[in-house]
Each structure stands twice: as structure tokens, then as C-alpha cells.
Amino acid sequence: MVEPIPYADFERVDIRVGTVVAAEPYPEARKPAIKLRIDFGPTIGLRQSSAQLTVHYTPEQLIGRQVCAVVNFAPRQIGKFISEVLTLGMPDADGAVVLLRPDQPVPDGGKLF
């Protein structure tokens, strides 16, 4: 079992929805990855992320897709690339990433609650 946390801790994690506007392979990463540029709307704007999505997605399939990401973690150096947000996914039966996303279109920048 996972140790319970206070609800206030969850409230500090800022999870938002955004639309992928650019995606390209990132072969320099230690594990196969795709570089994403995600539009989180006028308040947050464009942010970039490196995500290990190559099993189920091509860069072309990701453009225009809404995704969920944590937008208030500190930027992280991934090789020569700075990942500004953590794009969220769940493992499939083999451990490959499947993206989390809304099942209906929603405005970019919307906050998870």
C-alpha cells in the first residue's frame, strides 16, 4: 500500500491540459523519447517536454493531441534538452507509456481537480 498524504499535498501539484503543437524524435536521449512543444493556453503558454512515448506514438500522431502534464515541477535536464513539464502517462501491460488525456476536448490550460 502507498502511504497516504494530506489532500493539501495533492493540491500543490499543478496538472494542466495542453495541446501538442510540435513533436520530434529525440534520439540523443538515453531511452527512446520524443520532444514535445505543448500549448497550455494564454496563462501558461508554450512549454517543452521529453517523453518516452515511442512504443505507441509517432511524432506525427501527437501533433494536435491534448495531453495532461505537471506544469509546476522544476525544469529537468534530459541530455542537452530542458524538459519544462512532466507529460503524464500510465504503463501498458508491457510497461510502455500510454498518455493520459481528457476523453472530450477541453480548453488548453484547464487544471485537474
- Which CATH number do you get for residue 29? 2.40.50.140
- Residue 13 domain flag: yes
Residue 97 Cα distances to 12, 28, 33, 34, 94, angstroms: 24, 19, 11, 12, 9
Helix ranges (DSSP H) in 1-113: 7-11, 41-44, 59-62
Total-model pTM: 0.93
Domain that residue 82 falls in: 7-99
Question: Tens of pLDDT along 44-65?
Answer: 999 999 999 999 999 999 999 9
pLDDT value at residue 1: 83
- Residue 61 domain flag: yes
Total domains in the chain come to 1
- Residue 48 domain flag: yes
- Residue 23 domain flag: yes
C-alpha cell at 86: 512532466
Residue 85 Cα distances to 40, 71, 74, 104, angstroms: 11, 5, 8, 22
- Residue 27 domain flag: yes
- Residue 108 domain flag: no
Whether residue 105 is predicted with pLDDT greater than 90 in this model: the reply is: yes
C-alpha cell at 26: 529525440
